[in-house]
Amino acid sequence: MPRELLTRFAPRAEAGEAMPFQKVAHVFTDFKRTAWRLETRHGYATDRRSEAWARWQAGEDIAHDAPDAWRRNVAEQTAHGKRFGRVRIVDQPPTEGQRFLLTRAPSNVAAGDEVRYLWRANAERLGLPDFDFWLIDSRTLLRFVFDDEDTTLGVVVSEDPSEVLAACQARDAAWHFAVPAAEFARQVPSTM
pLDDT confidence of residue 124: 97
Give the pLDDT band of residue 176 (cuts 50, 70, 90): very high
CATH no. for residue 99? 3.30.870.10
Q: Residue 4 pLDDT more than 90?
A: no
- Per-residue model confidence as pLDDT tens digits over 15-35: 448 999 999 999 999 999 999
Mean pLDDT of all residues belonging to the chain = 91
Structural domains of the chain, count: 1
| Domain residue limits at 28 | 3-59+67-187
- Per-residue model confidence as pLDDT tens digits over 96-145: 999 999 999 999 999 999 999 999 999 999 999 999 999 999 999 999 99
192 within domain boundaries: no
118 within domain boundaries: yes
153 within domain boundaries: yes
What is the phi/psi pair of residue 132, to 5°? Answer: -80, 145
28 within domain boundaries: yes
Within 10 angstroms of residue 124's Cβ, the number of other Cβ atoms is 11
